[in-house]
Amino acid sequence: MERPLAGRLIVLGITGSIAAYKAAELARLLIAAGAEVQVAMSRTATAFIGPLTLETLTRRTVMLDPLELLPDRRIGHIVAADSADAVVVAPATARWLGAMANGLADDVVTATCLATTAPVIVAPAMDGEMYLHPATQGNVERLRGFGYAIVEPETGPLASGQVARGRLAEPAAILGAVVGALAGRPVREPDPERRPPAAREVRDDLAGLHLVVTAGGTAEPIDPVRFIGNRSTGRMGVAIAEAALARGARVTAILGMTSVPDPDGATIVRAPTAAAMRMAVIAALPEADALVMAAAVADFRPRAVADGKLARGAGLVLELEPTEDILAEASGLAHGRAERAADPSARPVLVGFAAETGSLARAPEKAARKRVDLLVANDVAEPGSGFGTETNRVTLVTPGREPEPWPLLAKREVADRLLDRIAAVRAALDAQSAERPAADAPADGSER
């Protein structure tokens, strides 16, 4: 099938005419032609067709008010106006034509048209005499003067019983006008981040999985006001939490110092120091199906914390002691539990991170030493990777296999690929458990 609007974003403005019900068919045709559709409705239009119908068809939240903000606090109609390839107003009422002709932006459809430089296509619909009134005709002429394309109403039976010109043009004809207005123009704003947000694809392939993820850096106190910290923002760990939540997992996020918003929907545990993080991880371990240690845990902390703020002196020598290796300890506890139960599934999938500078040569040894199932190694000195960036280039290390270098990806994409691998390890552990020879079961048949 031909998709003349592939990749386009079309704003469909609906105003309060009985013909508003036909806007659902127009939305369907625009989508079938390849467009993404963002609906904006005047309040009166909602009396004729429910926003739910249009949200279901377009998978985007309908804009109803010029004052509305998107979930990320951007102004909805401005984002729509700036990213739309075209705005099509169908049906356009006599009142709306008057408001638009005079630039009175008190409804979201007028506001969007005023704010956009994209082509605007207008399909009026009203009673015959209303359409012929010099006021209406004058307004239509003014809109033509703005460069708007007018899809003239058709002659036919109207809601009033009258047979006259005023019936909304057929949706196929309006679609044709949109396609015609865009011929030869490049897609205006292909970046989905700059468009009004579409509903995320709903997946629940991780439903039933409890993921415990650590994120951010720890802060090891020197005195009441100072600490030893690191450049971790928590972005990678939080991306893993968010991706897992979006796929139906239950998530406990153990957070050190982070500078990104907390993952919405996770159980949040604050753990500002290595010692606090160790306690939180060990407490969460028995309930975890997977443990992902994405936090940048300090390797050293001051041996003693000064009670009062250290005064400036000639200099300062800090004595540091090593912190506990949380991942190694958690891994030891987890493997111990699985071995005692003689059940490979009686432990979480164990995932570590290794931030290196320069070479990733130490990563396989680190994976083996910490007895993890997966180790995500990255060179934090490389541009586009590491602290505070939106992207990451990582190498996945699986004990006993060749390291797998992944391309430069958005952190969310790294998160989703990692979750795919975690799910595969989880499934393998559960399968090994199911296939245990019967001899493994206690001879007396008792429960363990």
CB of 328 to ligand CTP, least distance (A): 7
Our finding on whether 297 is near ligand CTP (CB under 6 A) is: yes
Q: Is 274 in the site for ligand CTP (CB under 6 A)?
A: yes
Total residues contacting ligand CTP by CB under 6 A comes to 15
> 3-state class of 259 per DSSP?
coil
20 or 281: CB nearest ligand CTP = 281
Give me the phi and psi of 92, to 5 degrees please: -105, 125
Active site residue 392: no
Please name the helix (run of DSSP H) or strand (run of DSSP E) that holds residue 426, with its range, or none.
Answer: helix 411-434
User: Per-residue string for binding with ligand CTP, 419-448, x by CB under 6 A?
Assistant: ------------------------------
Give 109 or 326: the residue with its C-beta nearer to ligand CTP: 326
Q: What distance in Å separates the CA atoms of residue 91 and residue 94, rounded to the nearest whole number?
A: 10
- Residue among 56 and 357 whose Cβ is closer to ligand CTP: 357
Task: Candidates 35-43, 101-109, 348-356, 414-422: pick the segment binding ligand CTP (CB under 6 A).
Answer: 348-356
Shortest distance (Å) from residue 217 CB to ligand CTP: 10
Q: Which of 20, 64, 89, 355 binds ligand CTP (CB under 6 A)?
A: 355
- Between CA 101 and CA 141 the distance in angstroms is 9
Question: Which residue number, 158 or 295, has a Cβ lying nearer to ligand CTP?
Answer: 295
The distance of closest approach from Cβ of residue 227 to ligand CTP in the complex, given in angstroms and rounded to an integer, is 15
The SS3 of residue 155 is: strand
Residue (227 or 353) nearer to ligand CTP, CB: 353
Member of 299, 379, 382, 413 binding ligand CTP (CB under 6 A): 299
Q: By CB under 6 A, is residue 288 in contact with ligand CTP?
A: no
Are residues 363 and 396 in contact, defined by beta-carbon separation less than 8 angstroms?
A: no
Position 376, amino acid: V
Tell whether residue 285 is a contact of ligand CTP (CB under 6 A).
no
**Considering the rule CB under 6 A, would residue 325 count as an interface residue with ligand CTP?**
yes
* Alpha-carbon span 208 to 156, nearest angstrom: 57
Report d(CA 258, CA 295) in Å as an integer.
10
Of residues 348 and 352, the one with the C-beta less far from ligand CTP? 352
Q: Which of 293, 350, 396, 423 binds ligand CTP (CB under 6 A)?
A: 293
The residue (of 48 and 353) whose beta carbon lies closer to ligand CTP is: 353
- Contact residues for 205 (Cβ-Cβ < 8 A; gap 6+): 247, 248, 423
Cα 114 from Cα 120, distance rounded (Å):
10
Please pick, from the candidates 119, 171, 196, 352, the single residue that binds ligand CTP as defined by CB under 6 A.
352
**Closest to 292 in 3D by CA, of 430, 415, 431:** 415
User: Of 74-82, 134-142, 352-360, 426-434, which segment contacts ligand CTP by CB under 6 A?
Assistant: 352-360
Which class for 417: exposed (0-12), middle (13-18), buried (19 or more C-beta within 10 A)? middle
Nearest to 350 by CA among 336, 329, 323, 371: 371
Strands 154-157 and 163-167: antiparallel
Closest to 331 measured CA to CA, from 289, 283, 285, 275: 285
Query: Which of helix, strand or coil describes residue 79?
Result: helix
Question: Exactly one of 17, 136, 323, 331 binds ligand CTP (CB under 6 A); which one?
Answer: 323
Please report which residue ranges of 324-407 form alpha helices under DSSP H: 326-340, 363-369
Of the candidates 39, 253, 326, 397, which one interacts with ligand CTP according to CB under 6 A?
326
CB closer to ligand CTP, 25 vs 299: 299
Residues 6+ positions from 170 with CB-CB distance below 8 Å: 154
Q: Does 140 bind ligand CTP (CB under 6 A)?
A: no
Q: Which one of 139, 230, 378, 392 is the catalytic residue?
A: 230
Tell me: does residue 175 bind ligand CTP (CB under 6 A).
Answer: no
Q: Does 79 bind ligand CTP (CB under 6 A)?
A: no
Can you tell me the distance from the alpha carbon of 259 to that of 261, in angstroms, rounded to the nearest whole number?
7
CA neighbor of 384 nearest in space, from 394, 374, 392, 373? 392
Catalytic residues: 230
Interface positions with ligand CTP (CB under 6 A): 274, 293, 295, 297, 299, 323-327, 352-355, 366
